[in-house]
């Protein structure tokens, strides 16, 4: 599986999705298939899928307490323990998880090894992945929140606040959102990282490119329909409200680019439970991060612990009794 | 293969981290090149343990003499483990291939082989997982990143899972904490199901099972070794230390890796323990049955960890001690800290450990009832219970190598440093990317510290060596301290090849050098028998 193959096959897949939805609406008039049926199915797959995956993970036992300790553990009272990198109680675990989930703490440690004459190796700071990752996830989050204005009437005030802050810099008319730019930039940079860094290119699978292209496609179609195709927003809103209130209708005359956008989103959420995107839920269950390093102070039970064959002291003494007596080692049986 | 056969460091490191092969990794089978793999386990060792498929074979053979249904065995084993270990299951599912872990592995940095990037190491097994256990993988095959479990894939597993020292450095950097060491552990368990294992792991395991220690030393042999050390101590200090063995009713059972009994420089550390305990008048005992703190079960399977580890509590119970003290070791402490009590506990026949000298309660060990020697000693020093003369170590300019397991599996970072700083005047840290939780492996952990694997070991040792050479150049460091028996052996080869002027040693060797003992004679030599001061040194 080489890099080009992965990239091209993923690109073809996403382009095919775009073409299918565009022509499905434009040429065959499947507005309500792409506007109503598919989104509902996708949402159902997403919800059921995510719940299923999480329950499935949660059902698998954690037999041992295996936190990765990234700081000083709690031992003697005068040694300062690091509760965030090596938690010794639930608050520490919560703090550690908070830093991981909201600030990508571990990614922030990233460095880049470089070989030099000597030979020696140096470690340059490498926070790009962290930066792109943060930009990507937070702009994604804000964009999702902003979308709520389509589904709700009246629009909740926090959505309005976020929307107006996001659109504060009126670069174009209508408002061009900062997060749109950051989002597209971040996804593009994540993609460029993947194709330009040889190590990363080597490990990338079609699935890695597929997710990026799909998300990029969503972003681009979104920006296009807002700023260039000037999609009928009222129509979109009535469709969205309809979906939300379970009285779906696909109003006629919405530009196909909207259906492309909606279809790509549908594919993304339907794909989500089956893919690496589940890292979003998985991170919370990761035993190296969500367990406290109280290994020696609190009991931990393995639900499937079973008896094993051991070599007992009696067997050992039977093997060596005479020799032990000769050299004066006390024995249990004379 | 021998150290002398290796090319010069500069030539060895003529590699490029940024030039993966043209062929994609799925189609690039492993090549067993001399010096980069370990010899397989002798059939007799597997037989002794009742493990599957004992036979004689070599990785370079075409036919590995596997059972006919090996595929079925492995896939069944995978299924079982996917249902028993959330770690394994999750780590199969959530990697985003972001590459953060890629250049964090010492074997990748030292070899440039992309399959030594933790992410690819895990993908070797993940590709099979996708192919056989996930919906998209089953539907899409290769497009879905799936790969059938062929004999080449299995051979690749053997090569690369025995090219991971289970050091957990990658897991520090992964945004989801994916621990490739955990994947390797499961990978090795699966390999063991069809009789694929290495002798440098299985021989110690088989020995430990029967004799109580890795080296297969019978009880009467152990006594010789310990008494030999006691004699050396007497020569150096004039004091005959007491040497309690299998003593019932002692307060404390002392367990340390057997590597400390038989070879320099571990023996100096072992002498250090004896001197310290004697000076304290500690009511303790050595055990011949539990004469091994190390546990190569960790490099075999979870079941084997338990089978070997069971001796420690069993012996504590038989001898009727109150609690257990453990010596300087790396992987032993992963087992004690993360597995022992869960596997073989609860040890409710023991008491919560209290230092008989200072009265300090070791709250952090109140359930396991096993205390780390640097916790014990740093508490003694903090309470002023030891008379120390660090100037006796003035010839030593030290740096400290955090062993992977105490650092990343137990969070033991400050205790050893506190002890070191109190017993030696010259101490310099290596660069921060290479110590504490980011410490680099010695290159020979997890059973890979054998001679035939020497090239790969020296490659894996390179990041540690590079950091060491940094402080050698800057501060004239001449002693690499560590608290791990495997390290004391493998780092010695490391310094030999990479930093010939540096000696390797344990912490309690320096403690004992500095320790002013009651009634000792005027000391002129250190535990290595080398003159203490500079005067005698120059001609
Ligand atoms: C601890 C929390 C999280 C961390 C550390 C994290 C980190 C990452 C990283 C490193 C990538 C890979 C970028 C690349 O391709 O190189 C990624 C991708 C992605 N993440 Fe997260 N993520 C987290 C939580 C979430 C959450 C809560 C969501 C919610 C939807 C999410 C959705 C995505 C998506 C859609 C992608 C893009 C797909 C891709 O690039 O493969 N992530 N994340
Ligand atoms: S850092 Fe973690 S998520 Fe990223 S490639 Fe490595 S194992 Fe996968
Ligand atoms: S555990 Fe250590 S040796 Fe194994 S892949 Fe991770 S960094 Fe490499």
Q: What number of helices (H) and strands (E) belong to chain B?
A: 23, 8
Inter-chain contact A293–B411, Cβ cutoff 8 Å? yes
Q: Residues B197-228: pLDDT tens digits? A: 999 999 999 999 999 999 999 999 999 999 99
Inter-chain contact A1–B20, Cβ cutoff 8 Å? no
Q: Which residue of A has its CA nearest to B104?
A: A113
The ligand with the least distance to the CA atom of B183 is 3
Q: Is B245 helix (H, G, I), strand (E, B) or coil?
A: strand
Inter-chain contact A199–B343, Cβ cutoff 8 Å? no
DSSP conformation letters of A191-218: HHHHHHSHHHHHH--HHHHHHHHHHHHH
Q: What is the mean pLDDT of residues B267-288?
A: 97
Q: Which of B416, B340, B402, B421 is nearest to B372 (CA)?
A: B416
The ligand with the least distance to the CA atom of A133 is 1
Q: What is the mean pLDDT of residues B362-379?
A: 97
The maximal CA–CA distance of chain A, rounded, in angstroms, is 100
Whether pLDDT at B436 is above 80: yes
**Mutate which of A80, A93, A295 to disrupt the B interface (most B C-beta within 10 Å)?**
A295
- CA distance linking residue B191 with residue B184, whole number of Å: 10
Distance to chain A for B537, nearest Cα, Å? 31
- CA distance linking residue A273 with residue A57, whole number of Å: 12
Structural contact between residues B387 and B360, judged by C-beta atoms closer than 8 angstroms: no
The pair phi, psi for residue B419, each rounded to 5°, is -65, -50
Q: Residues A56-113: pLDDT tens digits? A: 999 999 999 999 999 999 999 999 999 999 999 999 999 999 999 999 999 999 999 9
Q: Six-digit token pair at B212? A: 């109580």
DSSP element (H, E) containing B480: strand B479-482
| Nearest residue (CA) to ligand 2, atom 6 | B101
Mutate to test the pocket of ligand 1, among A137, A205, A206 (most ligand atoms within 8 A of CB): A137
Inter-chain contact B10–A106, Cβ cutoff 8 Å? no
Nearest to A57 among B22, B90, B466 (CB): B90
**Residues whose beta carbon lies within 6 Å of some atom of ligand 3:** B 104-105, 107, 118, 121, 164-170, 180-181, 184
**Residues whose beta carbon lies within 6 Å of some atom of ligand 2:** B 95-101, 118-119, 173-176, 178
Whether pLDDT at B74 is above 70: yes
Give the total number of structural domains in chain A: 1
The verdict on residue A331 lying in a domain is no
Nearest to B368 among A120, A288, A296 (CB): A296
Q: Which residue of A has its CA nearest to B339?
A: A64
The verdict on residue A310 lying in a domain is yes
Nearest to B95 among A71, A276, A326 (CB): A276
Q: Give A-chain residues touching B343 at CB under 8 angstroms.
A: 302, 305
B538 band by pLDDT with thresholds 50, 70 and 90: very low
Q: What is the mean pLDDT of residues A134-155?
A: 91
The verdict on residue A332 lying in a domain is no
Q: What is the mean pLDDT of residues A174-187?
A: 87
| Nearest residue (CA) to ligand 1, atom 36 | A277
Residue B43: Cβ within 10 Å count: 16
Q: Which of A157, A130, A127 is nearest to A145 (CA)?
A: A157
DSSP β-bridge partners for residue B323: B252
Positive or negative, the Cα torsion across A225, A231, A236, A237? positive
Q: Residues B314-352: pLDDT tens digits? A: 999 999 999 999 999 999 999 999 999 999 999 999 999
Q: Residues B486-497: pLDDT tens digits? A: 989 899 999 999
Q: Residues B132-174: pLDDT tens digits? A: 999 999 999 888 999 999 999 999 999 999 999 999 999 999 9
Q: Is B261 helix (H, G, I), strand (E, B) or coil?
A: helix
Residue A201: Cβ within 10 Å count: 18
What does the pLDDT read at residue B330? 94
Q: Compute the mean pLDDT over every residue in chain A, rounded to the nearest whole number.
A: 92
Inter-chain contact A288–B23, Cβ cutoff 8 Å? no
Q: Compute the mean pLDDT over every residue in chain B, rounded to the nearest whole number.
A: 95
Spell out a b/e string for B61-98, using b for 16 or more CB atoms within 10 Å of the CB, else e.
Answer: eeebebeeebbebbbebbeebbebbbbbbbbbbbbbbb
**Mutate which of B19, B84, B94 to disrupt the A interface (most A C-beta within 10 Å)?**
B94
A161 band by pLDDT with thresholds 50, 70 and 90: confident
Give Cα B174 distance to the centre of its chain: 22
Q: How many CA atoms lie within 13 A of A329 on its CB side?
A: 23
Whether pLDDT at B536 is above 60: no
The ligand with the least distance to the CA atom of A68 is 3
Q: What is the mean pLDDT of residues A200-205?
A: 94
Any B CB within 8 A of A196 CB:
no
The verdict on residue A333 lying in a domain is no
Q: Which residue of A has its CA nearest to B83?
A: A60
Calculate ∠ Cα A87-B94-A275, nearest 5°: 150
Nearest to A199 among B20, B171, B362 (CB): B20
B535 band by pLDDT with thresholds 50, 70 and 90: low
Structural contact between residues B194 and B52, judged by C-beta atoms closer than 8 angstroms: yes
| Nearest residue (CA) to ligand 2, atom 4 | B98
- CA distance linking residue A46 with residue A56, whole number of Å: 15
CB under 8 Å, gap of 24 or more: what pairs does A128-133 form? Answer: A128/A189, A128/A193, A129/A193, A129/B98, A129/B99, A129/B100, A130/A104, A132/A186, A132/A189, A132/A190, A132/A193, A133/A104, A133/A107, A133/A186, A133/A190, A133/B98, A133/B175
| Nearest residue (CA) to ligand 2, atom 1 | B174
Inter-chain contact A308–B310, Cβ cutoff 8 Å? yes
Any B CB within 8 A of A275 CB:
yes
- Specify the CATH number for the domain of residue A161: 1.20.950.20
What does the pLDDT read at residue A174? 63
Q: What is the mean pLDDT of residues A310-315?
A: 96
Any B CB within 8 A of A228 CB:
no
Residue B407 DSSP symbol: I
Q: Residues A230-289: pLDDT tens digits? A: 888 888 888 888 888 888 888 888 899 999 999 999 999 999 999 999 999 999 999 999
Inter-chain contact B219–A320, Cβ cutoff 8 Å? yes
Q: Where are the alpha helices (DSSP H) in chain A?
A: 3-26, 31-32, 38-59, 90-103, 105-108, 128-151, 157-166, 178-196, 198-203, 206-227, 233-244, 256-271, 279-282, 313-326
What does the pLDDT read at residue A118? 86
Q: Are strands A111-116 and B503-506 parallel, antiparallel or unpaired?
A: unpaired
Q: What is the mean pLDDT of residues A45-50?
A: 97
Give Cα B105 distance to the centre of its chain: 16
The ligand with the least distance to the CA atom of B173 is 2
The verdict on residue A169 lying in a domain is yes
A160 band by pLDDT with thresholds 50, 70 and 90: confident
Any B CB within 8 A of A330 CB:
yes
Instruction: Give the range of the structural domain holding residue A173, as residue numbers without chain letter.
Output: 3-326
- CA distance linking residue A91 with residue A99, whole number of Å: 12
The verdict on residue A73 lying in a domain is yes
Give Cα A245 distance to the centre of its chain: 29
Q: Which of B379, B378, B320 is nearest to B351 (CA)?
A: B320
Which residue in the block uniquely carries the two structure tokens 């495997």? Answer: B486
Inter-chain contact B409–A69, Cβ cutoff 8 Å? yes
Inter-chain contact A200–B97, Cβ cutoff 8 Å? yes
- CA distance linking residue B455 with residue B34, whole number of Å: 8
**Mutate which of B48, B90, B348 to disrupt the A interface (most A C-beta within 10 Å)?**
B90
Q: Residues B232-265: pLDDT tens digits? A: 999 999 999 999 999 999 999 999 999 999 888 9
Q: Which residue of B has its CA nearest to A283?
A: B176
For B333, residues 6+ apart whose C-beta sits below 8 A from its C-beta are B326, B372, B405, B406, B409, B410, B412
What does the pLDDT read at residue B537? 45
Distance to chain A for B10, nearest Cα, Å? 6
The verdict on residue A300 lying in a domain is yes
Structural contact between residues A95 and A87, judged by C-beta atoms closer than 8 angstroms: yes
Among the atoms of ligand 1, which is closest to the Cα of residue A191?
15
DSSP β-bridge partners for residue B255: B326
Residue B428: Cβ within 10 Å count: 15
User: How much of chain A, in percent, has pLDDT values that exceed 70?
Assistant: 97
Q: Where are the alpha helices (DSSP H) in B476-525?
A: 485-498, 507-514
For B287, residues 6+ apart whose C-beta sits below 8 A from its C-beta are B212, B245, B246, B253, B254, B255, B315, B319
The verdict on residue A137 lying in a domain is yes
Q: Give B-chain residues touching A52 at CB under 8 angstroms.
A: none
Edge-first strand order for the sheet with B370-372 is B284-285, B252-255, B323-326, B370-372
Inter-chain contact B83–A60, Cβ cutoff 8 Å? yes
B539 band by pLDDT with thresholds 50, 70 and 90: very low
Whether pLDDT at A151 is above 90: no
Nearest to A323 among B219, B414, B436 (CB): B219
Any B CB within 8 A of A79 CB:
yes
Distance to chain A for B175, nearest Cα, Å? 5
The ligand with the least distance to the CA atom of B101 is 2
Structural contact between residues B356 and B281, judged by C-beta atoms closer than 8 angstroms: no
């Amino acid at each position: 599986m080489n890099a080009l193959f992965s990239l091209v096959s993923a690109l073809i897949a996403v382009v095919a999705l775009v073409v299918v939805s565009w022509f499905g609406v434009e040429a065959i008039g499947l507005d309500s298939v792409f506007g109503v049926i598919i989104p509902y199915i996708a949402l159902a797959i997403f919800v059921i899928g995510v719940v299923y995956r999480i329950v499935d993970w949660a059902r698998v036992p954690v037999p041992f307490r295996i936190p990765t300790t990234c700081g000083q553990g709690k031992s003697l009272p005068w040694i300062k323990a690091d509760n965030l990198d090596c938690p010794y109680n639930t608050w520490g675990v919560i703090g550690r998880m908070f830093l991981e989930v909201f600030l990508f703490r571990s990614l922030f440690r990233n460095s880049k090894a470089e070989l030099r004459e000597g030979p020696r190796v140096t470690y340059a700071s490498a926070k790009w992945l962290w930066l792109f990752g943060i930009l990507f996830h937070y702009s994604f989050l804000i964009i999702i929140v902003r979308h709520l204005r389509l589904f709700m009437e009246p629009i909740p005030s926090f959505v309005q606040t976020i929307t107006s802050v996001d659109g504060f810099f009126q670069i174009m008319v209508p408002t061009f959102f900062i997060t749109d730019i950051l989002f597209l930039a971040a996804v593009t940079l994540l993609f460029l990282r993947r194709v330009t860094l040889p190590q990363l290119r080597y490990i990338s699978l079609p699935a890695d490119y597929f997710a990026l292209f799909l998300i990029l496609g969503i972003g681009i179609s979104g920006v296009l329909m807002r700023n260039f195709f000037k999609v009928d927003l009222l129509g979109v809103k009535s469709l969205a409200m309809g979906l939300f209130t379970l009285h779906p209708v696909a109003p006629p005359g919405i530009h196909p680019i909207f259906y492309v956008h909606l279809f790509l989103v549908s594919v993304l959420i339907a794909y989500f439970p089956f893919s690496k995107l589940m890292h979003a839920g998985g991170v919370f269950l990761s035993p190296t991060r969500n367990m406290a390093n109280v290994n020696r102070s609190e009991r931990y039970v393995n639900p499937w612990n079973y008896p094993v064959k051991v070599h007992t002291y009696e067997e050992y003494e039977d093997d060596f009794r005479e020799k032990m007596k000769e050299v004066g080692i006390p024995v249990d049986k004379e | 293969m021998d150290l002398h056969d290796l090319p010069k460091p500069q030539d060895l490191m003529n590699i490029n981290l940024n030039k993966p092969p043209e062929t994609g990794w799925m189609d690039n089978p492993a090549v067993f090149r001399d010096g980069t793999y370990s010899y397989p386990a002798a059939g007799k060792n597997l037989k002794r343990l009742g493990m599957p498929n004992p036979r004689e074979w070599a990785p370079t053979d075409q036919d590995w003499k596997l059972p006919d249904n090996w595929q079925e065995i492995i896939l069944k084993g995978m299924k079982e483990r996917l249902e028993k270990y959330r770690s394994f299951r999750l780590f199969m599912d959530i990697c985003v291939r972001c590459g953060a872990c890629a250049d964090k592995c010492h074997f990748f940095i030292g070899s440039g082989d992309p399959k030594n990037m933790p992410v690819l190491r895990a993908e070797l097994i993940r590709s099979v997982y996708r192919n056989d256990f996930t919906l998209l993988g089953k539907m899409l095959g290769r497009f879905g990143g799936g790969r059938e479990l062929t004999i080449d894939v299995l051979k690749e597993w053997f090569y690369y899972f025995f090219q991971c020292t289970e050091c957990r450095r990658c897991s520090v950097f992964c945004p989801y904490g994916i621990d490739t060491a955990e994947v390797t552990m499961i990978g090795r368990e699966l390999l063991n199901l069809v009789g694929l294992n290495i002798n440098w792991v299985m021989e110690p395991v088989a020995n430990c099972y029967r004799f109580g220690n890795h080296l297969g030393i019978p009880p009467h042999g152990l006594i010789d070794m310990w008494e030999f050390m006691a004699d050396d101590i007497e020569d150096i200090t004039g004091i005959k230390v007491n040497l309690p063995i299998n003593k019932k009713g002692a307060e404390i059972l002392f367990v340390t890796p057997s590597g400390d009994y038989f070879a320099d420089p571990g023996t100096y550390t072992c002498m250090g323990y004896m001197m310290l305990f004697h000076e304290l008048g500690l009511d303790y005992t050595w055990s011949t049955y539990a004469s091994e703190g190390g546990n190569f079960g960790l490099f075999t399977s979870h079941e084997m960890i338990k089978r070997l580890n069971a001796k420690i509590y069993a012996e504590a119970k038989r001898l009727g001690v109150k609690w257990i003290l453990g010596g300087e070791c790396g992987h032993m402490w992963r087992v004690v800290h993360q597995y022992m009590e869960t596997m073989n506990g609860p040890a409710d026949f023991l008491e919560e450990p209290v230092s008989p000298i200072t009265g300090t309660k070791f709250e952090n060990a109140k359930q396991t009832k096993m205390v780390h020697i640097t916790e014990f000693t740093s508490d003694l020093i903090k309470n002023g219970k030891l008379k120390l003369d660090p100037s006796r170590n003035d010839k030593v300019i030290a740096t400290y190598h955090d062993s992977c397991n105490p650092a990343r599996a137990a969070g033991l970072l400050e205790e050893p440093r506190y002890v070191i700083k109190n017993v030696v005047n010259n101490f310099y840290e290596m660069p921060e990317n290479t110590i504490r939780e980011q410490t680099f492996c010695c290159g020979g952990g997890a059973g890979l510290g054998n001679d035939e694997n020497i090239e790969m070991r020296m490659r894996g040792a390179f990041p540690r060596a590079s950091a060491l050479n940094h402080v050698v150049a800057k501060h004239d460091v001449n002693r690499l301290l560590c608290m791990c028996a495997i390290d004391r052996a493998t780092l010695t080869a490391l310094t030999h090849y990479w930093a010939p002027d540096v000696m390797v040693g344990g912490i309690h060797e320096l403690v004992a050098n500095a320790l002013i003992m009651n009634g000792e004679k005027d000391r002129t030599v250190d535990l290595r028998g080398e003159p203490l001061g500079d005067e005698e040194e120059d001609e």
